[in-house]
Chains A and B, each alone.
Chain A
Amino acid sequence: MPKDVPRFWREIQQRYNMMGNKCGSCDRVYFPPRESCPYCRRESMGKMEKIKLSGKGEIITYTIIHVGPEEFEEQVPYPVAIIQLEEGPKITAQIVDYNIDELKIGMKVESEFRKIQQDGSTGAIYYGYKFKPVK
């Protein structure tokens, strides 16, 4: 039984296209999208609007993973970062195509479409976002 296919299929719009949503009441942007705004709560129900994020942001913290999970073992060592997207939300993602000396808090980054993981050599391939330095 291939693992997790429906669960990851459901998130394709988020992982491929950074589709989030915006509260129709206070304009806060959320990624991933929420059913309602935590601040406006019932005021926001039914008023959440779809919005595509630009994929541009800035590193606010990062680390270099030396001991990785099984699916990522071949990429070790690799950086992951918490990125503040320009629309407001923060996300966690891997950094690629970087020079080690330019990696720092405050670095401007933009998203790129990459393979995130796969369910072995016979299972499905899961694509999504990684981030690279803005040239």
Chain B
Amino acid sequence: MTDIGIVSYGGSIPRLRIKAEELADVWGKDGKRIAKGLGIPEKSVPSIDQDTATISVEAARNALKRCHINPQDIGSIYIGSESHPYAVKPTGTIVGEAIGATPDLMVADYEFACKAGTAGVQNCFSNVKAGLIKYGLAIGADTAQAAPGDALEFSAAAGGAAFIIGNEKVIATINHTYSYATDTPDFWRRAEQKYPRHGGRFTGEPAYFKHVTNASKNLMEKAGTTPKDYDYAVFHQPNAKFPLKEAKILGFTKEQIKPGLKVSYIGNTYSGASLIGLAGVLDIAKPGDRILVTSYGSGAGSDSFDITATDEISKYERDKAPLIDDMINDKQYISYGVYAKYTDLLYWE
């Protein structure tokens, strides 16, 4: 079987931004200090007409612009998000229709907090490996919700990335994948609730660090690699501090993780985070570059991937769609009042 991996990818990041200081002022807090503490001076905000479906469609369309596949050859679509527009009615079929992949299609929406997108990647990989489909489309996208005044308000952001998985003209092979999961209630949202709740400091060591560390270590053991074998590493990024600390724990350098670290520019895009980080790395990757990606989803689990950029990547038509940094730099600031209006904090009959 020929190597299976990433055939194309694309991102979508809403243009609106709100600064930590603007958010903090409303709640009587010190914005500069909070921004420094989290490493998040500003975050992306979806406009009133943007949601996980629109972000997913734009990301998928960007991925398709960069390759020449026939959308009808996409055999499965899995979209991972914590903010699917409908609780029942899949985002996947909206995207499928909008890219011309219907009706011969396996579709389902995924949820696993911030690792729902990478779960989709694993399943597309499996479908291709099993010979069921020619190409699979996996998307991680979110318009994350945060209760007003909660600490999460400073990081919960909006964005997504789409990956087309196949075995022809692969620009980066997925050599190995491994997942580590336990029942750890560090962060959750009950079915009828609007906002999530979290365990404060409990979200650190027993949650994020335990799963990301174990998944990464076990993946490297499976692949027979050490941190030195990698050019880049991308970790889930709920803030700028966790991935830097994780890098230290595992033995990766700051330089290895910096290109995949986008949280300081746009905040935590939840299901989009690790995939946007990976997209950012692929934006600059050269043939032979090896990348470790480990996502994290509360509840809890991590998906880890060992990826190598192929020679094909030098022919890849990246310029046909905006790069992650292009989208990061295309921005417009809004006030808290406008932010409240757009994120539905203001409610009227």
Write the residues of chain A forming the contact surface with B, with a CB cutoff of 8 angstroms: 12-13, 16-17, 74-75, 96-97, 99, 112-116, 125, 127, 130, 135
Contacts and interface: CB of A to CB of B under 8 A. Distances in A.
A16 B49 contact: no
Interface stretch (B30-38, B93-101, B165-173, B202-210): B93-101
Nearest to A97: B15
Contacts of B139: none
Interface in B52-67: 53-54, 57-58, 61
A96 B49 contact: yes
Contacts of B47: 96
Given A97-B332, A127-B98, 18 more contacts: A13-B97, A16-B97, A74-B48, A74-B341, A75-B48, A97-B15, A112-B58, A113-B57, A113-B58, A113-B98, A115-B51, A115-B53, A115-B54, A116-B49, A125-B53, A127-B54, A127-B94, A130-B49
List 7 A-B pairs, minimum CB-CB distance, nearest first.
A113-B57, A114-B49, A16-B98, A115-B49, A113-B54, A97-B15, A114-B54
Contacts of A75: 48-49
Contacts, number: 47
A127 B50 CA distance: 10
Interface in B281-310: none
Contact of A125 (B15, B57, B85, B332): B85
Contacts of B85: 125
Contacts of B15: 97
Contacts of A114: 49-50, 54
A113 B55 CA distance: 8
Contacts of B49: 75, 96, 114-116, 130
A16 B94 CA distance: 9
Contacts of A135: 330
Interface string B82-116: 00011000000010011010000000000000000
A127 to B, nearest CB: 6
B90 to A, nearest CB: 13
A62 to B, nearest CB: 17
Contact of A113 (B48, B61, B330): B61
Contacts of A17: 97-98, 100
10 contacts: A13-B97, A16-B57, A97-B332, A112-B54, A112-B58, A113-B58, A114-B50, A114-B54, A125-B53, A130-B49
